[in-house]
Structure 1
Amino acid sequence: MKLLHSGKVRDVYADGEDIVLVASDRISVYDVILPNPIPDKGKLLNQLALWWFEQLADVVPNHVISSTDVPAEFAGRAVRCKRLEIIQVECIARGYLAGLGLREYQKQGTVSGVALPKGLVEGSKLPEPIFTPTTKAPIGEHDEFITYADVEDMVGAETAARLRDTTLEVYRRGAELAAGRGVIVADTKFEFGWDAQGRFTLGDEALTSDSSRYWPADEWQPGHPQRSFDKQIVRDWASGTGWDRTPPAPEIPEDVVELARNRYIELYQRLTGRSFTTSS
């Protein structure tokens, strides 16, 4: 296999006509890779993404060919995929106000050009899910909010509508399923592309703890930060260190590593109903 790209979390290999996507234990915050990993994170992300791809297969095709036909050293954290021509838009759906969406709303009353009601606070549920696309920035740079009109200019009206409608439909389906398991999907992001036959296809990952913001439904209370099942715990630690968010990043303390790992495991088990072990 030939290494094509090493991202913040995933390594992409070419293997003949296919791609092998390997999820690592690396973790990044503020677009910077931190020096120490979260043990088992790669397996947890990969297995959760595969579970979600199964749940969503009737909504949109995905890039998965096999989760077992991968090199032995990557077992459990890799997937064999179809090559896609990736559409250069980060497709984000938001059902609640948090993170960068909250900050954009506080400054302008909008997110990606979508006007929102006055008086919303951190953690507020939006009247309906919204599509808030961003650019796809290289490693070390930051994604920037763009409007739906910008997406139309970039990819054309037909593809823009497909990106928006599919993003919102997948989010709604995922949020409904998670709600039945006591979990809120506050927001999530997707990547789409075209396969060799020209089919619109969901790629990369789906509704993982890295690409989504997850909260326990029974603890949700707007007006302050929510307890999360994602990497927010690491963001919160990083923001309190005085680090200026440029490389090199500080090392994550052992207790924060363990807490983050436990949150990833708790989410995986809540959603899938499966136990996670290191041999999963």
Structure 2
Amino acid sequence: MNAPAALFESTLSSLKLRYRGKVRDVYDIDERHMLIVTTDRISAFDVVLPDPIPGKGRVLTAVSNFWFARTGRIIPNHLAALSLEQAVPNDADRAQVAGRAIVVKKLKALPVEAIVRGYLIGSGWKDYQKTGAVCGIGLPQGLRLAEKLPAAIYTPSTKAEQGSHDENITFAKTVELLGEELAATVRDVSL
């Protein structure tokens, strides 16, 4: 049995490429909609690796769609009612992105990535080693790498452009960026 070919970059002739991110390619559909294509590229520590994983984009899209459906009653999302058939008129283009693309509303993204941690790992572990805190939240002394935290914590970061690194920030910095009410809503809904 042949493994499916990996999609490193999408090339849609019927839509204009707006942006190519670390893992996703974004196309303009019209003045109100975009198409987000999740490729098989791998990003680790904010670096795109050269070898994609076949099917990864389809899996990530399925997981995203699952959670959008589950959380849609909790908080609005950017999914649009426009179908893939309506958004991508070219049959070959549509076949290339089937199962790995979503049609979304054009909205202004928040300049903050909302991260909830239940375990002390990754950049949270690095912060803890240096300061005893993660994003300004003090934690008990003596925690070990990958240890379960006493309670989940909200640890926002900036959302860096490709080639740059996301930076952990405090809730106070989130308030500066979003305003008090929106920052509190993002934190509370995330937790």
Instruction: Give the shorter-chain TM-score range.
Output: 0.7 to 0.9
Tell whether the 8 Å contact from 2:40 to 2:55 is kept in structure 1 after alignment: yes
Q: Distance in 2 between matches of 1:14 and 1:6?
A: 12
Tell whether the 8 Å contact from 2:46 to 2:166 is kept in structure 1 after alignment: no
Structure 1 equivalent of residue 175 of structure 2: 152
Structure 1 equivalent of residue 112 of structure 2: 89
Kindly indicate whether residue 18 of structure 2 is the aligned counterpart of residue 4 of structure 1: yes
Please list every run of at least 4 consecutive aligned residues from structure 1 whose deviation after the TM superposition is greater than 6 angstroms: none
Residue aligned with 2:80, SS: strand
Kindly indicate whether residue 42 of structure 2 is the aligned counterpart of residue 27 of structure 1: yes
Q: Distance in 1 between matches of 2:180 and 2:67?
A: 28
Q: Distance in 2 between matches of 1:32 and 1:124?
A: 26
Q: Write out aligned runs for 1:200-219 (5 A).
A: none
Count, aligned residues: 168
Kindly indicate whether residue 107 of structure 2 is the aligned counterpart of residue 121 of structure 1: no
Taking structure 1 as the reference length, the TM-score comes to: 0.58
Instruction: Report the identity percentage.
Output: 46
2:59 corresponds to which of 44, 47, 50? 44
Shift of 1:155: 1.6
Which structure carries more relative contact order (alpha carbon 8 Å, separation 6+)?
A: 1
Q: Distance in 2 between matches of 1:79 and 1:4?
A: 15
Instruction: Please give the per-residue CA displacement for 1:6-38, whole angstroms capped at 9, x wherever unaligned.
Output: 000000111012110000000011211111110
2:132 corresponds to which of 109, 123, 134? 109
Residue aligned with 1:20, SS: strand
Gaps of 5+ in 2: 1-14, 89-93
The one-letter amino acid of 2:29's match is D
Shift of 1:44: 0.6
Residue aligned with 1:38, SS: coil
Shift of 1:68: 4.0
Residue aligned with 2:112, SS: coil
Q: Distance in 2 between matches of 1:5 and 1:51?
A: 25
Tell whether the 8 Å contact from 2:112 to 2:158 is kept in structure 1 after alignment: yes
Structure 2 equivalent of residue 165 of structure 1: 188
Instruction: Please give the per-residue CA displacement for 1:43-75, whole angstroms capped at 9, x wherever unaligned.
Output: 010011101111112211111125644531211
Taking structure 2 as the reference length, the TM-score comes to: 0.84
Gaps of 5+ in 1: 169-280
Structure 1 equivalent of residue 11 of structure 2: none
Shift of 1:165: 0.8
